[in-house]
Amino acid sequence: MPDLSELDPRLAEAAAHLPLAEATLDRLRRPRSSLQVSLPVRGDDGQVRSYPGYRVRWDVTRGPGKGGVRFHPSVDRAGVERLALGMTVKTALLDLPYGGAKGGVRIDPKAVSTAEIERVARAWVSGTADVLGPERDIPAPDLYTNERVMAWMVDQWTATVRRHQPAAFTGKPLALGGSHGRATATADGAKHVIDALGTKLDLSGTPPTVAVQGFGNAGAELAEQLFHAGWRVVAVSDSQGGILAREGLDIPRVRRHKDAGRSLDGVICTGSVCDDPGHDLLEPGELLPLDVDLLVPAALGAAITADNAGDVSARVIVEVANGPVTADADAILAARGVTVVPDVLASSGGVTVSYFEWVQNRQGLRWSPEEVDRRLGERLRAAAEETWSRAEDLGAPLRTAASALALERLDVAARARDSLE
- List, by residue number, the catalytic residues: 102
Please say whether the beta carbons of 401 and 388 come within 8 A.
yes
What does the alpha-carbon distance between residue 337 and residue 90 come to, in Å, rounded to a whole number?
25
Residue 174: closest CA among 140, 157, 155, 151: 151
Phi/psi at 185 (5° precision): -60, -40
Strand partners, 285: none
What does the alpha-carbon distance between residue 87 and residue 79 come to, in Å, rounded to a whole number?
12
Phi/psi at 380 (5° precision): -70, -40
**Neighbouring residues of 295: CB distance < 8 A, sequence distance ≥ 6:** 210, 211, 213, 288, 312, 314, 316, 317, 318
What does the alpha-carbon distance between residue 26 and residue 42 come to, in Å, rounded to a whole number?
42
CA 34 to chain centre: 20
What does the alpha-carbon distance between residue 277 and residue 73 come to, in Å, rounded to a whole number?
30
DSSP states along 153-174 = HHHHHHHHHTS--GGG--S--G
Q: Looking at the chain, how many residues does it have?
A: 421
In what order do the strands lie in the sheet containing 33-42?
Answer: 33-42, 48-59, 100-106, 65-72, 137-141
Please say whether the beta carbons of 58 and 101 come within 8 A.
yes
For residue 329, give the DSSP letter.
Answer: H
DSSP states along 377-396 = HHHHHHHHHHHHHHHHHHT-
Please say whether the beta carbons of 114 and 267 come within 8 A.
yes
What does the alpha-carbon distance between residue 95 and residue 243 come to, in Å, rounded to a whole number?
39
